[in-house]
Structure 1
């Protein structure tokens, strides 16, 4: 197959860039930096099954896993296996023997768990809104790239308050289902959206993540949908990269800010440079590795190396630098033991706006698995914070009537 001249030129330039980097810092580090830069912006086709299964006793309702940080997490989780052809729900740890960890099996939803040898934990737990025993609707949000599917779970009473759920990188809408029951109890509708390149919504031309710098436009479209269907007060809730997307939507869109009354963040990606440095450290790479990936993403040759349609200025995506532009209350939840997105960025963001940000620190919970580790605390925080938004709006309404 003949390549287009433009593609050949781009490949040649990219190859030259890699060569220059290699001369500067070493071929192995340069190659790894390009690999990481490409990986962070490329939607994964399939997640790694990184947990080894040694025994399954369906009669006893128990599974034994090779000991690891994931295997010994406390709480309840979804568990994918057989290349996502199977799914089960695992309960808490029964016994931690060090080399092996025994957990309870709550259910096997589909697939042959007794034949599986590997799997991966999933914080979603719920597969769809039908499991919440609440009425829901399949709806479509019209984005600039085309129709994007979403779930709408309405409050019991006719409510004009909406929570828009924005899932994280490499996952889909079910991630936000954990927040639907407390939102419903507080009298808020929940709209769980899809966005470009997540495997459900339309793809962008480059089929790459923008780390919040492009996806925010789909949150604007979701906000428009909510307003067209009666929303008067809106809260954005972002998980991991969904937090970065939500914050960019707030900073970049007057349409979002017009009805916005708050933001909730679970394990958010606040500082991408810090995240990339952390990932480099996990892989025993030099301290400057993360900064090199940042330069690759933001440089003029980034497109040829990673496939992104335009350079990604990671510094421009830092909400801490623009913290003074936010003016709504936020609930920020993060674990010191996240293991994927370090808590440091959340700490700095909370410190930059202590007047707006209620910062809740968890311990022992892995990335976006705060609900799984401490469901009662997490659910209570979300419900009470939303109830306070309702009370605040009611007070403002009363004051406006008195002033009038």
Structure 2
């Protein structure tokens, strides 16, 4: 074996070897940096990318066609009392679910209100709070109209009031869903004398996509609600309420603050609303165990011009401008907030803080046990009464 002398150990390292070492460490650092950038971009882009498929979080275990029942795996949603819906089967069908008949630790059996003809006996499904999936199911006169938006003609459903009072309500759905989410709200508004316009907006699957095909989280979609206000005014609207569900809450609040039709907006009704995106993203990052440095970098990427290379957004999202809680003093019209404290997706803390900041204009009706955007399903009587009573106070 060759022995190395003391002189050998202290011999200078050649420049070539220095260069090779530097190249190795540089490659490692570059790989780590590239991985970090990719991770930030992945998280950030997930926030602004519309969903193209449903998350199958429920399992249909059995359908009893003879008795008209359906048995589901038990989870926090399927255990909720009330009436709901279910996306199920291939091709996909929307099933209406009635009351709970039996419940154990593992399964929930509910009344199946949709004929089970041709349905598979079991399989993955998506639980839904819609209940109604098509406007015809309400048994109320309606017509299809187009709203000319900056992205193109966006389809909408118009349910005219029985008598023309000039009062309209524009109802806006949330992220990853469609106008059908809002059908539950039509009866109470028509009973209050309002024509109800259920709108679509860019990238929701009904309306045309934007140039980047990505959500602006309300920072761009409010323009489509402004276009719907143009249509309402052209058809005789003189007093308008804006109602939004979840991200639709962000959209309608932005429309109330930024639309040139602000003078005819008499109120804003919010169901499970996103009032501060940073708060929501932090909440969801905690649930997903996303490391703090990664989540902060992703939020910064969404809201910074340099982040567009990672997100694909045409323009950065002004998250600070979408923070309604910090901008509470700028709000001028009456606001109704309906939110469940166990929402599970959008924390209700923003709703509580907004109500505390503006008790002069905010009416807050907190729920418990109803989860996200399922307040009507959970307690239809209370939900309907809250809207009806609040609407009576408007000019």
Give TM-score scaled by structure 1 length.
0.86
Aligned 8 A contact 1:77 1:121 in 2: yes
**CA separation in 1, counterparts of 2:165 and 2:238?**
9
Residue aligned with 1:107, SS: coil
Q: Aligned match of 1:77 in 80, 84, 103?
A: 84
Correspondence for 1:6: none
Correspondence for 1:203: 209
Q: Aligned match of 2:133 in 104, 127, 140?
A: 127
Deviation at 1:22, TM superposition (A): 5.3
Is 1:228 paired with 2:231?
A: no
CA separation of 1:339/1:84 partners in 2, compared to 1, >3 Å: closer, same or farther?
farther
Correspondence for 1:100: 107
**CA separation in 2, counterparts of 1:347 and 1:80?**
33
CA separation of 1:289/1:21 partners in 2, compared to 1, >3 Å: closer, same or farther?
farther
Deviation at 1:210, TM superposition (A): 0.1
Is 1:53 paired with 2:60?
A: yes
Is 1:36 paired with 2:43?
A: yes
CA separation of 1:102/1:326 partners in 2, compared to 1, >3 Å: closer, same or farther?
same
Aligned 8 A contact 1:179 1:382 in 2: no
CA separation of 1:248/1:132 partners in 2, compared to 1, >3 Å: closer, same or farther?
same
**CA separation in 2, counterparts of 1:263 and 1:196?**
21
Is 1:149 paired with 2:155?
A: yes
**CA separation in 1, counterparts of 2:316 and 2:112?**
45
Question: Which has a greater percent of helix?
Answer: 1
Correspondence for 1:402: none
Correspondence for 1:63: 70
**CA separation in 2, counterparts of 1:220 and 1:83?**
37
CA separation of 1:115/1:349 partners in 2, compared to 1, >3 Å: closer, same or farther?
same
Pick the structure with greater CA Rg. Answer: 2
**CA separation in 1, counterparts of 2:45 and 2:181?**
24
Of 77-86 and 63-72, deviating more is: 77-86
**CA separation in 1, counterparts of 2:278 and 2:392?**
35
**CA separation in 2, counterparts of 1:293 and 1:74?**
37
**CA separation in 2, counterparts of 1:84 and 1:291?**
40
Deviation at 1:336, TM superposition (A): 0.7
RMSD: 1.9
**CA separation in 2, counterparts of 1:312 and 1:91?**
40
Structure 2 unaligned residues grouped into runs of 5+:
1-28
**CA separation in 1, counterparts of 2:65 and 2:311?**
45
Aligned length: 367
Residue aligned with 2:72, SS: strand
Could you list the per-position Cα deviations for residues 312-335 of structure 1 after superposition, in whole angstroms to 9, with x for gaps in the alignment? 131221112221111110110000
Aligned 8 A contact 2:334 2:361 in 1: yes
Is 1:181 paired with 2:187?
A: yes
Correspondence for 1:279: 284
**CA separation in 2, counterparts of 1:149 and 1:316?**
28
Correspondence for 2:321: 316
Q: Aligned match of 2:264 in 248, 259, 267?
A: 259
